[in-house]
């Protein structure tokens, strides 16, 4: 996973959409081999970057790839999943999920939980690039629209879509933890 140039590009792009600041608290859900965590820790110098993944194999790779951030105390990697989120002592400024939301059970409920972990005005970015036979730019766009709608149902507002021109396209839904309109 870490050696594909498209994976690196997708993660770097998703991180760039979050407009990370040096003192931000950032959570990545499904951090895999730690590509985005590495990008995040290059920007965050006075904050906190946490990655969770349900796979110990992926966490071993992420730990190796992010040894410097772990030593500096700004990176925290945990064995956990979006279905059983760990507790944290403070809200996050930014949350990132790359190529994971389609595997989530009850994505609307998971997004609502993540919203509770995000400070008011904080951003969430949920990126997806379909893989496999039949994957097209249109299937990517459809998945992006579905994710954007799920973010809105979870209370994020405003929500926008961004597209990265890989083949097939990567679509990222970005939501703001704004006031819930009910």
The residue-averaged pLDDT of 3-27 equals: 89
Main-chain dihedrals φ then ψ at residue 79, nearest 5 degrees? -80, 105
Structural domain span for residue 50: 5-176
The residue-averaged pLDDT of 76-86 equals: 96
98: Cα within 13 Å, side-chain hemisphere: 26
Is 77 part of any domain? yes
Is 89 part of any domain? yes
What's the sign of the alpha-carbon dihedral 144, 12, 34, 92?
A: negative
**Cα separation of 28 and 20, whole Å?**
13
User: Is residue 182 very low, low, confident or very high in pLDDT (cuts 50, 70, 90)?
Assistant: very low
Per-residue pLDDT tens digits for 155-170: 999 999 999 998 899 9
**What tokens does 109 get?**
């409920």
Asked whether the beta carbons of 20 and 26 are under 8 A apart, the reply is yes
Is 182 part of any domain? no
Query: In this structure, what CATH number is given to the domain that contains residue 155?
Result: 3.40.50.150
> How many domains are contained in the chain?
1
Is 92 part of any domain? yes
Identify which has the larger pLDDT, 115 or 102. Answer: 115
Q: Quote the pLDDT of residue 131.
A: 81
Q: Is 178 exposed, middle or buried (0-12, 13-18, 19+ CB in 10 A)?
A: middle
The residue-averaged pLDDT of 101-112 equals: 93
- pLDDT of 46 over the 70 cut: yes
User: Is residue 181 very low, low, confident or very high in pLDDT (cuts 50, 70, 90)?
Assistant: very low
Is 159 part of any domain? yes
């Amino acid at each position: 996973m870490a050696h594909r140039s498209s994976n690196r590009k997708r993660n770097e792009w998703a991180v760039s959409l979050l407009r990370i600041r040096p003192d931000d608290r950032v959570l990545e859900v499904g951090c895999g081999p730690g590509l985005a965590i590495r990008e995040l820790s290059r920007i965050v110098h006075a904050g906190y970057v946490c990655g969770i993944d349900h796979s110990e194999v992926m966490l071993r790779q992420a730990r190796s790839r992010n040894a410097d951030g772990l030593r500096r105390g700004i990176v925290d990697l945990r064995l956990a999943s979006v279905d059983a989120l760990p507790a944290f002592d403070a809200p996050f400024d930014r949350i990132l999920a790359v190529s994971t939301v389609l595997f989530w059970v009850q994505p609307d409920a998971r997004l609502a939980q993540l919203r509770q972990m995000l400070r008011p005005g904080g951003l969430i970015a949920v990126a997806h690039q379909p893989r496999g036979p039949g994957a097209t730019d249109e299937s990517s766009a459809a998945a992006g629209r579905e994710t954007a709608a799920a973010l809105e149902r979870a209370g994020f507002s405003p929500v926008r879509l961004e597209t990265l021109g890989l083949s097939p396209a990567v679509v990222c839904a970005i939501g703001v933890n704004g006031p819930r309109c009910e």
